[in-house]
Copies of this chain bind each other. A is one copy, B any other.
Amino acid sequence: MILITNDDGIVAPGIRALVEVASKFGEVIVVAPDSPQSGQGHAITINQPLKLRKVNIFPGIDSYECSGTPVDCVKLAKNVLMKDKKIDLCLSGINHGANASINIIYSGTMSAAMEASLEKIDSIGFSLLDMSFDADFSAAKHYAEKIINSVLKNPMNGCKLLNVNIPSGKLEDINGIKVCRQGDGTWIEEFQEGTDPRGEKYYWLTGKFVSFEPEHMDDHDIIALKSKYVSVVPSNHDLTHHTAIKDFKYMETL
């Protein structure tokens, strides 16, 4: 069974594209948010109950909309809807907009996939570098099909999470796939300031992404995407900075 979720909400064209591709490979269940949840990261709903409603929007496919976050959707799928069944693969997306570099940590799409990977389920998040609602998903579907097919044939071993980003544009403009590391960067100029109808000041998040990567580095997702390659970053939930453990050992004598 293939579980599909996203963060743009169950009616987004991107999840429809992913359902179309995935249903070629076997039985699919969709559990996705009932409203857009971009930027929700790994948020979970603790202080209020969640609702789950069966909906009929993908012909022949069991589909549920959930009042919670993308991670809540995966938790409900695993623990309630699929309690006694095996999830072979979790797919999240196809996201409207990039989740490369550090954007993996803000992304509801990637956090949903990570949540499934925590449960030792092979998981892939797909994102298209086009934020528009009517984005062209044809190239993304082409590569998603190749990657899903290969993961079903060669189940993931050890690493259970892939972050896949697809350049915008037509299929013939894409140069192939690069398997690479997460590039480093940050967001700058982050707030638009304004005044609300009651005269109170507000701040609205905006900004642009800048890479921290030196020009000569070519092994990361930022440069892969810039060069019109699909980026595939094997990812995980271990946030330990392993090589730094020795640098802080002195604290054991404080």
Contacts and interface: CB of A to CB of B under 8 A. Distances in A.
Contacts of A118: 102, 186
User: What's the interface size class on A, roughly?
Assistant: 35 or more
A254 B146 contact: yes
Nearest to A119: B186
Given A191-B80, A241-B234, A254-B146, A248 B179 contact: yes
A191 B39 contact: no
Contacts of A203: 49-52, 76, 80
18 contacts: A38-B46, A41-B111, A46-B205, A49-B202, A51-B202, A78-B190, A79-B189, A79-B191, A150-B250, A154-B250, A158-B241, A180-B245, A181-B242, A182-B240, A233-B240, A234-B240, A234-B244, A237-B239
Interface of A: 36, 38-52, 69, 71-72, 75-76, 78-80, 102, 104-106, 111, 114, 118-119, 146-147, 150, 154, 157-159, 161-163, 176-182, 184, 186, 189-191, 193-194, 196, 200-205, 232-245, 247-252, 254
